[in-house]
Amino acid sequence: QVQLVESGGGLVQPGGSLRLSCAASGTLLTGTMFSIYTVRWFRHTPGKQRDLVASVDKDGRTNYADSANNRFIISRDNDKKTMYLQMNSLKPEDSAVYYCNAVHPYGNGYWGRGTRVTVSS
């Protein structure tokens, strides 16, 4: 019903920045409807568990993992049905596949297919 597509990943040097985007779409998904979803960014490295990076709820309240705090910023544009993750001061340990996730408070949750971020010199 709701599809999420991540973009913006790639290769970046340590200390560099990337902005990830996640576009949401669906036949009944208006900007107003999208606004009530809690949206999150997760990341996964092979051999490790999938970790929550950041989230923002319908009221604009944000939460960050300790590893992301003070370096990453999560934001959303409900009119465009898009969420973003601005990543600054990137470190090699930030390398992962980043996934966006959207959860309706009374219904379903959805996942994107991921976008790969590689931090290396």
**Residue 61's pLDDT is what?**
97
Element of type H or E holding 32: helix 31-34
As averages over each run of 10 residues, the pLDDT of the chain (121 residues) reads 96 98 95 96 93 96 93 97 98 97 93 98 93
Distance separating alpha carbons of residues 106 and 33, to the nearest angstrom: 12
**39 C-beta neighbours (distance < 10 Å), count:** 27
Note the pLDDT of residue 2.
Answer: 94
Structure tokens at 52: 């929550």
Confidence (pLDDT) at 37: 97
Q: Which pLDDT does position 70 carry in this prediction?
A: 92
CA trace torsion 20, 32, 57, 89 (10° rounding) = 20
Task: Count CA within 13 A, CB hemisphere, residue 8.
Answer: 18
Q: Would you state the pLDDT for residue 66?
A: 94
Q: What is the pLDDT of residue 84?
A: 98
The pLDDT score that the predictor gives to residue 111 is 97
The alpha carbon torsion through 44, 48, 50, 54 (nearest 10 deg) reads -70
Bridge partner residues of 3 (DSSP): 25
21 forms beta bridges with 7, 84
Beta strand extents in 1-90 (DSSP E only)? 3-7, 10-12, 18-25, 38-44, 51-56, 62-64, 72-77, 82-87
